[in-house]
């Protein structure tokens, strides 16, 4: 056989290899993930073992099961946080379960009184200048918060929320992300090619917002030294932006950002603060090497089509939102759909999702299927595994979706 006669065979092999690689890339691009979230404090390996049992040899190629975990890097020492991240990454590889790594610097920051303690002389970190690192309820630091409240199923007291535009606070977030993000990326890059899909992504933010997950009652600072059982018990009024039916906050961030320093607090300014906060952290993650398709934001939206929805969008990441009211059908969330129409990101995420009040298998399966019906929805994350593992309908629905996919 002559050399010329050999060429068609070589060309054919190259074409076949190209087609196989293209098909592989397309399959990766189409892959979707059904993720369940681990609540802080749970034993990671126990959850990996429990979730692994949901899988079967008949699992759909289109929908893969995953696990998410939250790392609040200002809520514990750097070494503690690194250790937990490394454990989570190692277990993902050991159990062959894809993961979402959520990095939180907003909701919990107990380990940094040097940032928030402006009032307690007897406690570590005291500095009156820390008034500028927490939120205010009016246009000057005399109205700095000492306390706030959160209601995630029940009301609890929490620390005053950070001023998202405070330079010391932003530096603290950057310092921890410069440690954790390379840690994750190093693990990912060392994985063999057939295991690279174990990293679904890194999520930045945790229902990022102002005045919702850390809200303030009238004269709230006066309640700090009184029994917690005397605290008011009020439901937020989601459609009353910016105050949500209690005392509006966000003045510190708006002042620091020089968006305003007097007058009425505006919804658009609060949304802009959250947008800048996420844009900054996502820009840092991108600088550290996170590809856009592996980076997700997380914003909440409580009022129909409120401006906050748009804060999830930036050029470094894929947008993500919470779905509770619209868990049954995210396409009905007009705020999300408005933002998706102008997004050029490769994916988006239902990054916090929960179908409330039912154990009906059909209802769960239909809701999950609707959520993943958009092929650009990279993943949905059920909050939380601890809340549904005894829900037979929910567990049966997850198994069914993993077996049959979304049948688009």
pLDDT tens across the length of the chain (408 residues):
544 444 556 555 433 333 333 334 444 567 999 999 999 999 999 999 999 999 876 666 689 999 999 999 999 999 999 999 999 999 999 999 999 999 999 999 999 999 999 999 999 999 999 999 999 999 999 999 999 999 999 999 999 999 999 999 999 999 999 999 999 999 999 999 999 999 999 999 999 999 999 999 999 999 999 999 999 999 999 899 999 999 999 999 999 999 999 999 999 999 999 999 999 999 999 999 999 999 999 999 999 999 999 999 999 999 999 999 999 999 999 999 999 999 999 999 999 999 999 999 999 999 999 999 999 999 999 999 999 999 999 999 999 999 886 655
24 found inside a domain: no
Q: What does the pLDDT read at residue 16?
A: 37
The answer as to whether 325 is a domain residue is yes
CATH number, residue 221: 3.20.20.80
Q: Burial level of 323, CB count in 10 A (0-12/13-18/19+)?
A: buried
Q: Is residue 5 part of a domain?
A: no
Q: What is the pLDDT of residue 83?
A: 98
CA distance 273 to 270: 5
Q: Which pair of tokens denotes residue 260?
A: 């305003």
**Where in 55-214 does DSSP place strands (E)?**
63-72, 99-104, 148-151, 155-158, 199-208
- Strand 155-158 and strand 199-208: the pairing is unpaired
- Counting the structural domains of the chain, the total is 1
Encode burial over 216-242: b for 16+ CB neighbours within 10 A, e otherwise: bbeebbebeeeeeeebeeeebebeebb
Question: Residue 65 corresponds to which tokens in the numbers above?
Answer: 């099961």
Entry pTM: 0.92
Q: Confirm whether 385 is domain-assigned.
A: yes
The answer as to whether 48 is a domain residue is yes
Q: Is the dihedral of CA 312, 318, 324, 327 positive or negative?
A: positive
Q: What is the pLDDT of residue 407?
A: 58
Report the C-alpha gap between 408 and 405 in whole angstroms. Answer: 8
Structural domain for 60, as ranges? 30-404
Q: Of how many residues is the chain composed?
A: 408
233: phi then psi, degrees, rounded to nearest 5:
-130, 95
Picking from 191, 231, 190, 236, the residue whose alpha carbon sits closest to that of residue 213 is 236
The answer to whether residue 20 sits within a structural domain is no
Cβ(299)–Cβ(205) below 8 Å = yes
**pLDDT number for residue 151:** 96
């Amino acid at each position: 056989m002559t050399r010329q006669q050999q060429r068609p065979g070589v060309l054919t092999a190259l074409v076949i290899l190209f087609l196989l690689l293209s098909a592989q890339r397309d399959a990766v691009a189409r892959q979707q993930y059904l993720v369940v979230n681990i609540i802080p404090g749970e034993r990671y390996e126990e959850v990996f073992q429990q979730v692994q049992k949901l899988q079967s040899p008949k699992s759909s190629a289109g929908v893969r099961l995953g696990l998410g975990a939250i790392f609040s890097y200002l809520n514990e020492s750097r070494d503690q946080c690194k250790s937990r991240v490394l454990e989570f990454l190692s277990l993902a590889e050991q159990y062959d379960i894809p993961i979402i790594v959520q990095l939180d610097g907003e909701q919990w920051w107990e380990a940094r009184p040097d940032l928030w303690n402006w009032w307690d002389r007897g406690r570590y970190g005291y500095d009156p200048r820390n008034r500028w690192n927490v939120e205010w309820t009016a246009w000057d630091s005399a109205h700095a918060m000492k306390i706030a409240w959160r209601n995630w199923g029940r009301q609890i007291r929490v620390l005053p929320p950070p001023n998202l535009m405070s330079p010391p606070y932003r530096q603290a977030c950057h310092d921890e992300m410069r440690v954790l993000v390379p840690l994750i990326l190093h693990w990912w890059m060392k994985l063999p090619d057939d295991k690279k899909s174990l990293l679904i992504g890194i999520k930045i933010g945790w229902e990022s917002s102002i005045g919702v997950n850390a809200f303030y009652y009238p004269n709230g600072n006066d309640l700090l030294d009184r029994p917690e059982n005397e605290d008011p018990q009020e439901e937020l009024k989601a459609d009353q932006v910016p105050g949500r039916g209690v005392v509006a906050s966000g003045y510190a961030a708006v002042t620091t950002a020089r968006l305003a320093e007097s007058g009425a607090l505006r919804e658009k300014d609060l949304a802009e603060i959250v947008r800048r906060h996420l844009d900054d952290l996502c820009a840092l993650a991108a600088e550290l090497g996170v590809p856009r398709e592996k980076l997700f934001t997380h914003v909440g939206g409580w009022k129909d089509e409120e401006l906050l929805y748009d804060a999830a969008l930036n050029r470094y990441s894929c947008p993500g939102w919470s779905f509770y009211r619209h868990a049954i059908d995210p396409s009905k969330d007009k705020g999300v759909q408005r933002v998706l129409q102008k997004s050029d990101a490769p994916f988006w995420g239902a990054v916090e999702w929960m179908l409330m009040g039912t154990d009906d298998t059909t209802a769960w399966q239909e809701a999950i299927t609707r959520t993943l019906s958009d092929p650009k929805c990279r993943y949905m994350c059920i909050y939380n595994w601890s809340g549904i593992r005894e829900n037979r309908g929910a567990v049966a629905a997850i198994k069914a979706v993993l077996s049959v996919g979304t049948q688009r």
